[in-house]
Structure 1
Amino acid sequence: MYSILFQCVAFILAAAVTGQHVGMENTDNTGNSDTPVYNGEEIILPMCRNFLPYNWTKLPNQFGHDTQVEVYRHIEHQWAYMDYGCSNNFRQFVCSLYLPKYDPVTQTVAGPCKEMCSKARNRCKKTMRETRSRWPRIFRCNQLPSKRNDDVCLRPVRESRVELQHTYCVDNVIPMCISLNSLGSLPNFFLQRSLGEITTEMRFYEDLVSTNCNANLQFFLCGTYLPLCVPNITPFAIPCRELCDEIKRDCSTHFDFIYQGLPWPNKLQCHRYTPSNDTSRYCAMPGDF
């Protein structure tokens, strides 16, 4: 779960995804196959999908998780650190550890290298201490293969400097949101500071939006991921809790069907949002702007 500290800092500062198995199978009239069936599956978890340099994985993983729903429940509490960006390698490491890269041609599986783990740990352990957490014991870097050996593993990406900026307004260039409002606020509700990263994550919801489960779904998602920059409102305006309740009521069944039984995202749980009758904080409803 996102810590209370993270939430406080935040206020300061084209078909549906199916997860089908990959298959390249030649079968004659007798039903005999002369090539193997590739038992990979497409990655569907919102914190990993579109962020990795690959799209396919193979389960069960090294922890014995048979489904991506199981994986989701084990890594969702790391989502906050992925968003905060304590390390460019943290998301890559956690996702590839639980959802390793699968090559359907060679039928090989590759997880993270030791060096990727070490870079993520060195960058994130201080942030975790500040939030009264610690580097998970299950993330044992020394037990992973090294990029210097012949082992197949995923190498680390280049790190960049992390700066927590105060809230400021930016031009809205997110494709899903550009028609709704011209300005948004960064960092957003989840401490994300990169418009590119926000855009990548919002692509996850394109299939849900296409169902038209609720006419205000785009407003809700855009107001959450790129809060409205409103004059004289500090630090920003996010959608009201009543709208969240309406969206979840109308769209949760569609979400469950499209995303293979994944639970409604932790980020979109309605207790996070301000009710419209709260006079201490401002929230937004469609038609307010």
Structure 2
Amino acid sequence: MFFYLVGAIFAFTFSLVYSCELITAPKCMNIGYTMTTFPNTLGHRSQTEATQDLKAIWPLVEIGCSASLRGFLCSYYFPKCDPAVKEISTILPSRYLCENSRKGCEPLMNKFGFPWPSNFECHKFPGGCEPTTIPMCAQKLKKKQISQPVWTQNPT
């Protein structure tokens, strides 16, 4: 009986910790995936908490200081969840998205006396882009893959 109870508690806890849910935050819909999971790495336990916290920095998206910022924020606050994956894993945004966001927005933030948020330090994010997990990276890689050298003749 004891082992049955422990097993039931573990299964219940696991299902609470890692389950996929549809993204309902309007600002982060249509970002290349539809499912997310909580808690996220920022400690938000629900989409409501994440949305509330996101409101503080969202004006930067509306100003348009970086084309990467929306993808970066949404993939950080609403991490992609794949129902086919059974392990607990959070897919963080890439370092590329972070660096592009920071490059475009940090000067504007500094101009108004705000530092780049410490939880957005780009070295904390995985390097490279994986288009299978982070759709915003697919555009970057696709552009790299299709760009071919242009050969011109030497004018003589």
- For residues 238 and 283 of structure 1, the distance between their equivalents in structure 2, rounded to whole angstroms, comes to 9
Larger relative contact order, structure 1 or 2 (CA cutoff 8 Å, min sep 6):
2
Judge conservation of contact 2:36–2:78 (CA < 8 Å) in 1: yes
Aligned to 1:207: 59
Query: For residue 199 of structure 1, what is the amino acid of its counterpart?
Result: T
CA contact (8 A) 2:61 2:70 kept: yes
For each residue in 1:168-200, what CA deviation from the matched residue of structure 2 results, as whole angstroms up to 9, or x when unmatched?
211111121023232112111122112111111
Question: SS where residue 176 of structure 1 aligns?
Answer: helix
Segment of structure 1 superposing worse, 173-182 or 261-270 = 173-182
Render the CA deviation track for 1:253-274: whole Å, top value 9, x for unaligned: 12223xx312111111112211
With normalisation by structure 1, the TM-score equals 0.38
Alignment equivalent of 1:256, drawn from 106, 110, 117: 110
State the AA in 2 paired with 1:216: S
Shift of 1:283: 5.8
Aligned partners of 1:228 and 1:236 also within 8 Å: yes
Runs of 4+ in 1 over 2 A off after TM superposition: 230-234, 282-285
In structure 2, what residue type is equivalent to 1:242?
A: Y
Match of 2:8 in 1: none
User: RMSD across aligned C-alpha pairs, in angstroms?
Assistant: 2.7
What is residue 170 of structure 1 aligned with on the other side?
21
Change (3 A) 1:277 1:243: closer
Q: How many aligned positions are there?
A: 122
Partner of 1:240: 94
CA distance in 1, matches of 2:44, 2:58: 19
Distance 1:205 1:177, change over 3 A: same
**SS of corresponding position for 1:190:** coil
Query: How far apart, CA to CA, are the structure 2 residues paired with 1:166 and 1:183?
Result: 15
Question: Corresponding residue for 2:42?
Answer: 190
Q: Is there any run of 5+ residues in structure 2 with no aligned partner, and where?
A: 1-12, 140-156
Q: TM-score, normalised by structure 2?
A: 0.67
Q: Which one has a larger percent helix, Structure 1 or Structure 2? A: 2
After superposition, the C-alpha distances for 1:64-105 in whole angstroms (9 at most, x for unaligned) are xxxxxxxxxxxxxxxxxxxxxxxxxxxxxxxxxxxxxxxxxx
